[in-house]
Amino acid sequence: MSAARLDRTDLQLLAALQRDGRQTNAELADCVHLSPSACLRRVQRLERDGVIAGYSAQVDAERLGLGLQAFVRVQLAHHDAASIAAFSAFVAQWDEVVACHALTGDMDYLLQIAVRDLEHFSRFLLDRLLNQAGVADVNSSFVLRTVKAFRGLPLASR
């Protein structure tokens, strides 16, 4: 489904689900002024079309003992298809990497890392990232505090 085919009600449904994905269909229908059956059909269509990619819980990293977050910019030593595939395979296996983005500019990737502490980060960096992944250079920045966390995509500004 293209973004142009999403109407105002679809956007309201998506916004409501981003705020609270656990609300019942009846609550969601009331929120967007639809009957429960019409609401359910729309949500099922959005799911089927891949607009709604899934549902998940927001988990507090600190309460899990993951008190240190970092962003690591990575430059690969080689940029051939095999090197990129190997790096991607390594990153996919590492639980500490909670997000990985390919970048433009002087660095190739941006990794978001969640670890227990500086010792855990050091082991991750030395034993995994620098030792196994064909990495030429890294630049790390530690999160001091989160000013705004991801809470959903912007829908109202469309």
Q: What single letter denotes the amino acid at residue 108?
A: D
Question: H or E segment at 25?
Answer: helix 25-32
How crowded is the C-beta side of 90, counted as CA atoms within 13 Å? 19
3-state SS, residue 27 = helix
Please check whether residue 142 is in contact with residue 74, taking contact to mean a CB–CB distance below 8 angstroms. no
Q: What is the DSSP letter of 41?
A: H
d(CA 124, CA 3): 39
- Whether 3 has a pLDDT exceeding 80, the answer reads no
d(CA 14, CA 34): 14
- Whether 4 has a pLDDT exceeding 60, the answer reads no
- Whether 132 has a pLDDT exceeding 90, the answer reads no
Classify domain 62-142 by CATH architecture: 2-Layer Sandwich (3.30)
pTM of the model: 0.85
Provide the CATH topology of domain 7-48.
Answer: Arc Repressor Mutant, subunit A (1.10.10)
- Whether 2 has a pLDDT exceeding 70, the answer reads no
Domain extents for the chain?
7-48, 62-142
The pLDDT of residue 133: 75
The pLDDT of residue 156: 66
